[in-house]
């Protein structure tokens, strides 16, 4: 058995520090903080992308594409009509100008969608480069192209081979490079059995030999699905998006009918409304802004998930994440680091902490478990116990831990040190003829009641055998988790910790982490029952999982996030897959979902509010000549009827392109209650949408008034 000298300790300290960094919860979230990680190196908005996407925006002018957006299809028809009527009088500059800006309105709407899709296509190109045509070696020795593999085929992969398709490891263990999928350069271990058996096509085996059972058809691998997702080909409109489209279409029909009734009234009043003016009025009154940006908002929301290496199987899942009210989180690896760590050395009466620390460290130098390493690190950091030279340990006899003895330790220079379970160490001390301190049981009970694990440390030397003290091992809660749970609480989300620990330990961890509730000694049936109870109360539930036994609960949850390292059953059951296999990312997924809903709601509020100003621009321009009293509505004091109508149309087009960055980046999310969020959006986007057009239309009118023949 190997020993650890000073150099060994330094290496383990570095490893411990790296694992702490790797396991720490993500601090960057969509809530206004930069989450720079992502695929294909895309930022949230690149102005150059506007120019790159312009050709695609013109291609989308195809009526078969435009008809998918009812509002913008009406604008497209209006643009065609004004263009046709302008041809009747080629000298009518007003008609041609209105037509030009109406076409720009349609192009700008297409551009918003094209930019969102363009970012996805850039990511898809990166993913396509990761796809490699492979030759698969079956277990029977035959070789076939990877594209001809069927579900259930068994293939062999050795060091240097590219895995030909998605599947589960059924034999062996290997180190796998998944950087093509996750972007992480560090290799991962994949092995048969357990919850780390899934492998992804396109990744590379770095060492050893494994046998893989193929679980997907050619063309349906994770890379294929990610390509379809980021390109938008697999994106379906969500229920809320469909409902909003119906609302916008209804408003469009209402305004269409209203505009259709105006010509008879105008004729009765002794004036004439041209088709160009009627179309301009209709386009300015219908909710063109949100109609133009609605698709881009949905695509961008999915894109933000892909940037965080989360594959959503449907837009419904992203939307549901925004409405989640109960969050089920596994304790191990999500709320805690997953390995018990030494928290303190507690001496019995008659000894000191330093004595306990020295003995505990010495007995743990050959202990390669996370618990053993943490004991060495704590003794070094708290008491400066660092120097352990090779010569000092050359005659040491290391006692390995076994399930029978439930102890480990070292015999060195006539001194015996043991650490382990309370009953085992107490029995050893008594076998050596020593006595156990009276407060030993009291100390171990106190640690157990606090949810920790006590390890007794004992020694036999010239003074006899005796217990020195207790090592307090505890499941360490990740930094910042309490603050994040507090944020979720302000969002109205209830957090439930799920663990297989006993209720006493679970209660202690739950209180330290700050979760709202916990489910101890949880079985798959318990998880399913909890989800059903929450859903029966009208709540949407989100949870993470990676094992086959998690599959039923993942399928039942409204948002089921499966880990990429998990089994194929778990990934098929969930409606999202986290390629980084980071359970804490569920919190970010909820925030992304909420940001998507907030962005859609905010821009809808802005769009409807900014139509109000256009009434004050166009209505006086149409009828002030025959009804002078309407001139009082011209509160912007626009220079002429033609300028008023043209200013409103130009503003209507420009506001779309101005809001493209916001629709792609998303409205900044803050963890506040629903009523506060509503008040904020009504103030910022409702009032802002009301005021902005008055300012914008007036400024455009001032510029137009400088052009001869318009003002």
Q: Tell me, letter by letter, the H, E, C secondary structure of 621-665.
A: HHHCCCCHHHHHHCCCCCCCHHHHHHHHHHHHHHHHHHHHHHHHH
From the annotation, which residues make up the binding site for ATP? 367, 371, 401-408, 419
Nearest Cα neighbor of 581 from 551, 555, 546, 543 is 546
Nearest Cα neighbor of 226 from 206, 200, 204, 195 is 200
Q: Are the beta carbons of 532 and 514 closer than 8 angstroms? A: no
Name which residue leads in pLDDT, 73 or 462. Answer: 73
β-pairing verdict for 494-498 and 326-330: parallel
Among residues 330, 475, 501, 611, the one annotated as catalytic is: 330
Residue 34 makes CB contacts below 8 A (sequence gap 6+) with 28
- The string of pLDDT tens digits covering residues 562-587 is 887 777 777 788 888 887 777 778 88
Nearest Cα neighbor of 182 from 224, 125, 222, 230 is 222
- pLDDT for 428: 92
- pLDDT for 456: 92
State yes or no: pLDDT of 427 exceeds 50. Answer: yes
State yes or no: pLDDT of 47 exceeds 70. Answer: no
Let me know if 330 is a catalytic residue: yes
State yes or no: pLDDT of 609 exceeds 60. Answer: yes
Q: Are the beta carbons of 576 and 561 closer than 8 angstroms? A: yes
What is the arithmetic mean of pLDDT over 199-213?
87
From the annotation, which residues make up the binding site? 367, 371, 401-408, 419, 546, 550
β-pairing verdict for 407-412 and 397-399: antiparallel
CB atoms within 10 A of CB 389: 9
- pLDDT for 96: 92
What is the SS3 string spanning 467-535? EEEEEEEEEEECCCHHHHHHHHHHCCCEEEEECCCCHHHHHHHHHHHCCCEEECCCCHHHHHHHHHHHH
Chain mean pLDDT for the chain: 80
Please list the residues that pair with 422 across neighbouring strands: none
Instruction: Set out the domains of the chain in order of their start, with CATH numbers.
Output: 47-119+231-302+592-706 (no CATH), 150-217 (2.70.150.10), 328-335+479-574 (3.40.50.1000), 341-476 (3.40.1110.10)
Name which residue leads in pLDDT, 44 or 507. Answer: 507
pTM assigned to the model:
0.66
Nearest Cα neighbor of 31 from 670, 475, 674, 683 is 670
> 38: pLDDT confidence band, cut at 50, 70 and 90?
very low
The owner of tokens 């963890």 is 671
Given its phi and psi angles, is residue 475 left (phi above 0), alpha (psi -120 to 50 degrees) or beta? beta
> 102: pLDDT confidence band, cut at 50, 70 and 90?
very high
- The string of pLDDT tens digits covering residues 495-532 is 998 887 778 778 888 888 899 999 988 888 888 899 99
β-pairing verdict for 143-145 and 154-158: unpaired
């Amino acid at each position: 058995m190997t020993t650890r000298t000073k150099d060994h300790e330094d290496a383990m300290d570095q490893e411990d520090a790296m694992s702490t960094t790797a396991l720490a919860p993500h601090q960057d979230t969509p809530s206004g903080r930069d989450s720079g990680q992502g695929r294909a190196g895309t930022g949230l908005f690149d102005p150059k992308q506007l120019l790159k996407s312009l050709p695609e925006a013109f291609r989308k002018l195809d009526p078969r594409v435009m008809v998918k957006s009812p509002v913008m299809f009406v604008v497209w028809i209006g643009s065609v009509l004004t263009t046709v009527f302008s041809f009747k009088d080629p000298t009518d500059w007003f008609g041609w100008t209105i037509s030009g800006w109406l076409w720009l309105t349609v192009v700008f709407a297409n551009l918003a969608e094209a930019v969102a899709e363009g970012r996805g296509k850039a990511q898809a190109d990166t993913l396509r480069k990761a796809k490699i045509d492979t030759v698969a070696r079956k277990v029977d020795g035959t070789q076939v192209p990877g594209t001809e593999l069927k579900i259930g085929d068994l293939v062999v992969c050795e060091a240097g081979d590219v895995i030909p398709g998605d599947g589960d490891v059924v034999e062996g263990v290997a180190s796998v490079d998944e950087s093509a999928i996750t972007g992480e350069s560090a290799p991962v271990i994949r092995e048969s059995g357990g919850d780390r058996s899934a492998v992804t096509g396109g990744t590379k085996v770095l060492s050893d030999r494994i046998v893989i059972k193929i679980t997907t058809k050619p063309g349906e691998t994770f890379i294929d699905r990610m390509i379809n997702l980021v390109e938008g080909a697999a994106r379906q409109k969500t229920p809320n998006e469909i409902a909003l489209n119906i609302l916008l279409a209804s408003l469009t029909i209402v305004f269409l009918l209203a505009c259709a009734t105006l010509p008879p009234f105008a004729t009765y009043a002794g004036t004439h409304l041209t088709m160009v003016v009627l179309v301009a009025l209709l386009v300015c009154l219908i909710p063109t802004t949100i109609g133009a940006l609605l698709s881009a908002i949905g695509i961008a929301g999915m894109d933000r998930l892909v940037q965080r290496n989360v594959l959503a199987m449907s837009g419904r899942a992203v939307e549901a994440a925004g409405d989640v009210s109960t969050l089920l989180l596994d304790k191990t690896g999500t709320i805690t680091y997953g390995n018990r760590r030494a928290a303190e050395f507690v001496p019995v009466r008659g000894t000191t902490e330093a004595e306990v620390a020295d003995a505990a460290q010495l007995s743990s130098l050959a202990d390669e478990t996370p618990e053993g390493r943490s004991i060495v690190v704590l003794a070094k950091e708290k008491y400066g116990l660092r120097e352990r030279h090779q010569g000092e340990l050359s005659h040491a006899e290391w006692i390995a831990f076994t399930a029978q003895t439930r102890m480990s330790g070292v015999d060195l220079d006539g001194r015996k040190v043991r650490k382990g379970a309370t009953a085992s160490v107490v029995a050893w001390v008594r076998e050596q003829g020593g006595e156990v301190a009276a407060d030993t049981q009291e100390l171990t009970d106190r640690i157990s009641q606090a949810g920790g694990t006590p390890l007794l440390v004992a020694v036999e030397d010239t003074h006899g055998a005796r217990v020195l003290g207790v090592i307090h091992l505890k499941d360490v809660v990740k930094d910042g988790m309490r603050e994040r749970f507090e944020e979720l609480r302000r969002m109205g989300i209830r957090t439930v910790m799920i663990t297989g620990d006993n209720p006493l330990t679970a209660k202690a961890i739950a209180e330290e982490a700050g979760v709202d509730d916990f489910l101890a000694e949880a079985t798959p049936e318990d998880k399913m029952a909890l989800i059903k109870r929450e859903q029966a109360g009208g709540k949407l539930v989100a949870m993470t999982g990676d094992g086959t036994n998690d599959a039923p609960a993942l399928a039942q949850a409204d948002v089921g996030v499966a880990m990429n390292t998990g089994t194929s059953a778990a990934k098929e059951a969930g409606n999202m897959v986290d390629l980084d296999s980071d359970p804490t990312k569920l919190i970010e997924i909820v925030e992304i979902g909420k940001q998507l809903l907030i962005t859609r709601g905010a821009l809808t509020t802005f769009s409807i509010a900014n139509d109000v100003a256009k009434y004050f621009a166009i209505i006086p321009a149409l009828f002030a000549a025959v009804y002078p009293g309407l001139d009082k509505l011209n509160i912007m004091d626009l220079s002429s009827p033609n300028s008023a109508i043209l200013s409103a149309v130009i503003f209507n087009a420009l506001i779309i392109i101005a809001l493209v960055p916001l629709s792609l980046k998303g409205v900044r999310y803050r963890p506040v209650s629903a009523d506060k969020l509503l008040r904020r959006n009504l103030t910022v986007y409702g009032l802002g949408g009301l005021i902005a057009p008055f300012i914008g239309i007036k400024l455009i009118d001032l510029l137009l008034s400088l052009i001869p023949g318009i003002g």
